[in-house]
Structure 1
Amino acid sequence: MAWWDVVVATVAREFSDVGDAEQFTRLAVRLLVAAILGGILGLQRERHGKAAGVRTHMLVALGAALFVLVPQQWGMDEADLSRVIQGVVAGVGFLCAGSILKSDDDHVRGLTTAAGIWLTAAIGVAAGLGREMTAALSALLALAILSMEGPLRRLAGRSGKDNEDPG
């Protein structure tokens, strides 16, 4: 056997973690759903001038989905998978903490951005676990909540500058 045959066979084995078309389709759907839902939430945030936009939300959702998909492919049991999810939540919490700023006048900014990133990770986990409808419903609810800010402030007669987190 020539050396290149060994290389080709080795590369083929390295890319064989998806066994059949059904498994590939399941993997692709879960990752795509996570990325698309994260992108939709990120687009809403980007359109409102927030720093964490489409790419950030897509990457967070995709990463969270991947963190649960790979252990599932590996055959990890539910108890161990719950620890993986705990690690994802803690890691994303650390990422979110970096988006919260306190100014000299004690005004806190970035809480909504942090909460949105945290929720986007949860949506990614749901998609990665094969709970696409739960992920989609959660993303729709998040969009509704984020979209209600202006109308609710107008209804309450607030200018938007009162003690509310701008983002």
Structure 2
Amino acid sequence: MSDKAKKIFFTLTIVVPFLLYCVYYYSHMIKNAPYKFSEFKSFVIKYGTSDSMVNTYNSATGDYQYLNRKDSLVKTNLPLHSSDLLYLHRKAAELGFWDFPVQELGDSSKIKGKPLRYYIEFNYQRKSKKVWFDESFDRDLKLKDANETFIKEIQRVLGEAEEKNKK
């Protein structure tokens, strides 16, 4: 057999079946993913001290309330675009939000004052994912970093949407 015939034979017997199997396998993985954006309904974030979680946002209604720098409560309606929601959905997937434990609370006596507590909930047609995260959580540093990164991204998206809404 010539070199060209060997390359063609190799491609047809090894490479093509492998590629077909990869397409088949990963298409089913994506199709059966537990949290799909096409089934996304809404997300909710609440944060504050454990006794008063005043800062809230609900993407289903667009209701947004938060304490500003002067400690006065600001209530507004802030609808997010689907591109912002898709970004947050993808960021949650990237950071592994679906695998986070439900309770991530730590010993609040280790922190001066009251630590901030966050409640994040993503709702889909068939499922929802809820996570309670406390700033005093100190068991898994990678998990803590992922939570903090995700919270900062949510707050950044809300801040940008509020700036656009003011214009």
More strand per residue: 1 or 2? 2
Q: Which has the higher contact order (CA 8 A, sep 6+)?
A: 1
Please give the TM-score of this superposition, normalised by the length of structure 1. 0.32
State the structure with more CA Rg.
2
Please give the TM-score of this superposition, normalised by the length of structure 2. 0.32
